[in-house]
Amino acid sequence: MPRPDGRKPDQLRPLIIQRGFTNAAPGSVLIKTGETHVLCTACVDDEVPKWREASGLGWVTAEYDMLPASTGQRRGRNRGGKIDGRVQEIQRLIGRSLRTVVDMKALGKRTIWIDCDVLQADGGTRTASITGAYVAVMDAVAWLMKKKKLRKNPITDSVAAVSVGLLKGKPLLDLCYLEDRDAEVDFNVVRTGRGRFVEVQGAGEEATFSRAEMDAMIAMAERGIERLLGEQKKALSTGRR
């Protein structure tokens, strides 16, 4: 069965990583994976949460949300401290993923705040957020280094993420919304540049899956992540907008 956008089963959606998308934040990236567009910003606060103060270590945390017009039907904004379960789960995943590649001692007693705002959603918003947020954090750290606020670069590795799933028994990489909606099984895979897994989120929506099918999906995801890591590196090697 052909994919909605004509891609091969193991093909990523067209990817654009645009650094310096806004001027105010030390790190600001617009990432486009097909029709999913996410603005990822990284800001620096020269303090840490109170529970973290005695440790002498830094902190990295994330917030995520979808703009009201990011999908076909208007979404209400998260107001008054009320955050729905899906949003909370995703922002925790983004924060965990980025913390795995930051040396908190080297970062010092400061916080990097990551904000991922989905401008347009067509599946894979959490994985796009992680991939884009890494580039934004790299730029925020470069800003700190330029201002001589850091003695040592705290970034220890790269990190990226992608979705994969089974649709009519066939593994597919980087699912768009229609594929994600209809998939019998879907996974979100987060992995570092050194090949270490941060998280593998997977479940059978309407079917079970075998060990062989799971291995095939994760292997496909790893190949996709290798390409994403290469695109991150390419984006970071060029000048900001």
Hey, is 87 helix, strand or coil? helix
- pTM beyond 0.75: the answer is yes
Asked whether residue 5 is assigned to any structural domain, the reply reads no
Q: What is the Cα 56 distance to its own chain's centre? A: 27
| Mean pLDDT score across all residues of the chain | 94
pLDDT at 62: 98
Residues 29/19, Cβ–Cβ less than 8 Å: yes
Hey, is 172 helix, strand or coil? strand
pLDDT at 75: 76
Higher-pLDDT residue of 85, 171: 171
Residue 118 has pLDDT above 90, yes or no: yes
Asked whether residue 1 is assigned to any structural domain, the reply reads no
Asked whether residue 4 is assigned to any structural domain, the reply reads no
pLDDT in tens, 57-81: 999 999 999 888 888 778 777 666 6
pLDDT in tens, 135-154: 999 999 999 999 999 989 99
Decide the pairing of beta strands 111-120 and 59-66.
parallel
Give me the helices (H) in 147-201, please. Answer: 177-182
Asked whether residue 10 is assigned to any structural domain, the reply reads no
**% the chain with pLDDT above 70:** 96
Gap between the Cα atoms of 31 and 37, Å rounded: 6
Radius of gyration of the chain, Cα coordinates, nearest whole angstrom: 18
pLDDT at 240: 63
pLDDT in tens, 197-229: 999 999 997 789 999 999 999 999 999 999 999
Asked whether residue 42 is assigned to any structural domain, the reply reads yes
Residues 218/200, Cβ–Cβ less than 8 Å: yes
Asked whether residue 170 is assigned to any structural domain, the reply reads yes
pLDDT at 86: 85
pLDDT in tens, 181-190: 999 999 999 9
Hey, is 110 helix, strand or coil? coil
Asked whether residue 7 is assigned to any structural domain, the reply reads no
Number of folded domains in the chain?
A: 1
Query: Residue 131's domain is classified under what CATH number?
Result: 3.30.230.70
* Domain, as residue range, for 193: 15-237
The CB density around residue 55, as the number of other CB atoms within 10 Å, is: 12
Asked whether residue 103 is assigned to any structural domain, the reply reads yes
